[in-house]
C-alpha cells in the first residue's frame, strides 16, 4: 500500500497563478484533510472531508477550494495564488474523523 | 515543551539515554491524544496515541503519559537512537474533525 500520496512535491508559482494539489489514499479511509505547515507553527486545517460527498471549511480556508473527487482523492485548488500561501501543504486521511490521521509527504509551494 | 513561534524548543540527548518530550494541551474536553514524529522534508508519522480513559500507554520503546488534571502529555523514548532525531509534536482531538497540533519539539540525538 502506498498510503497517502501527493503531487507535486515542489511548485513555484507567480502571484495570481492558479494550481491544484492532488492527494490520494489507498487505505479506504472515509475522512480526508488538507493542512498547511508554516515554520515554527503547528499544522493548520484548511479544509476537510468527513466522508465522500462532503467538504467543510477548517481554520484557514480563505483563498482555497477543495474537491472530494471520490473516496480516494481529495484535491486542493488555489485560484489566485498569493505570497502568503507560501507554505508546505499536507494531505491526510483517517478511517473517520476523531481518529489517527495518516499524512502524505507534502507539497512545498512557493509563491513569488 | 510545546510552544508556538518561529523557534522550536530543542531537546538534545546522548545516544542510549532516555528522552522525555512534554506537551501542554489546551482543551479540557479533548479525549484523544496523538504523538507524531516529523523528519526533515517528510510528512508527520504516527508514533502512539492514548484515549482519555487511560493515563499511560506503551509501545515499542515509547510510552505516552497523560495527566488530565494539569492537561499535560509526555512522550518517553527509551534508549534514544540517532534515527530518533526529528521534530515531535502532540495533537489533541475532541472526537470530531478538529485536531489541534502543537508546534513541536526538536530532538537531537548525539552519537
Residue of A30, A98, A99, A107 to mutate when probing chain B, most B C-beta within 10 A: A98
Residue among B105, B92, B17 nearest B61 (CA): B17
- B98 vs A35, residue with greater confidence: A35
Lowest average pLDDT, out of A40-49, A63-72, B93-102, goes to B93-102
Mean pLDDT score of chain A: 95
Q: How confident is the model at residue B109 (pLDDT cuts 50, 70, 90)?
A: very high
How far, in Å, CA of B91 to CA of B34, rounded? Answer: 5
- The pLDDT value given to residue B3: 35
DSSP character string of chain A: ---EEEE-SEEEE-TT--EEEEEEE-S--SEEEEEEE-TTS--EEEEEESSTT--EE-S--TTEEEEE-SSSBEEEEESS--GGG-EEEEEEEESSTTS--EE---EEEEE-
A4, A35, A100 member nearest B49 (Cβ): A100
Examine the pLDDT at A40 and tell me if it is beyond 80: no
Mean pLDDT score of chain B: 91
State the smallest CA–CA distance between residue B106 and chain A in angstroms. Answer: 10
A40, A50, A100 member nearest B6 (Cβ): A40
State the smallest CA–CA distance between residue A106 and chain B in angstroms. Answer: 6
- The pLDDT value given to residue A42: 85
- DSSP one-letter code for B102: P
pLDDT in tens, A45-90: 999 999 999 999 999 999 999 999 999 999 999 999 999 999 999 9
Query: Average pLDDT for residues A30-54, to the nearest whole number?
Result: 93
Grid cell listed for B63: 510510552
Examine the pLDDT at B91 and tell me if it is beyond 80: yes
pLDDT in tens, B22-67: 999 988 889 999 999 999 999 999 999 999 999 999 999 999 999 9
Angle, alpha carbons B17-B18-B20 (nearest 5°):
140
Amino acid at each position: 500500500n502506498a498510503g497517502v500520496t501527493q503531487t507535486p512535491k515542489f511548485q513555484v508559482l507567480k502571484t495570481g497563478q492558479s494550481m491544484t494539489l492532488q492527494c490520494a489514499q489507498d487505505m479506504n479511509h472515509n475522512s480526508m484533510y488538507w493542512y498547511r505547515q508554516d515554520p515554527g507553527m503547528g499544522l493548520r486545517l484548511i479544509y476537510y472531508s468527513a466522508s465522500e460527498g462532503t467538504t467543510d471549511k477548517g481554520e484557514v480556508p480563505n483563498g482555497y477550494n477543495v474537491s472530494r473527487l471520490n473516496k480516494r482523492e481529495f484535491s486542493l485548488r488555489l485560484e489566485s495564488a498569493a505570497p502568503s500561501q507560501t507554505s508546505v501543504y499536507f494531505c491526510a486521511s483517517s478511517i473517520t474523523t476523531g481518529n489517527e490521521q495518516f499524512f502524505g509527504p507534502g507539497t512545498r509551494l512557493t509563491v513569488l | 515543551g510545546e510552544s508556538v513561534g518561529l523557534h522550536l524548543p530543542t531537546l538534545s540527548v546522548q545516544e542510549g539515554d532516555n528522552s522525555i518530550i512534554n506537551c501542554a494541551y489546551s482543551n479540557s474536553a479533548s479525549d484523544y491524544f496523538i504523538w507524531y514524529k516529523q523528519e526533515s522534508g517528510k510528512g508527520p508519522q504516527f508514533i502512539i496515541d492514548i484515549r482519555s480513559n487511560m493515563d499511560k500507554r506503551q509501545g515499542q520503546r515509547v510510552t505516552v503519559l497523560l495527566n488530565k488534571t494539569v492537561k499535560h502529555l509526555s512522550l518517553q523514548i527509551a534508549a534514544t537512537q540517532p534515527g530518533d532525531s526529528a521534530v515531535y509534536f502532540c495533537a489533541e482531538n475532541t472526537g470530531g474533525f478538529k485536531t489541534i497540533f502543537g508546534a513541536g519539539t526538536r530532538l537531537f540525538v548525539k552519537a
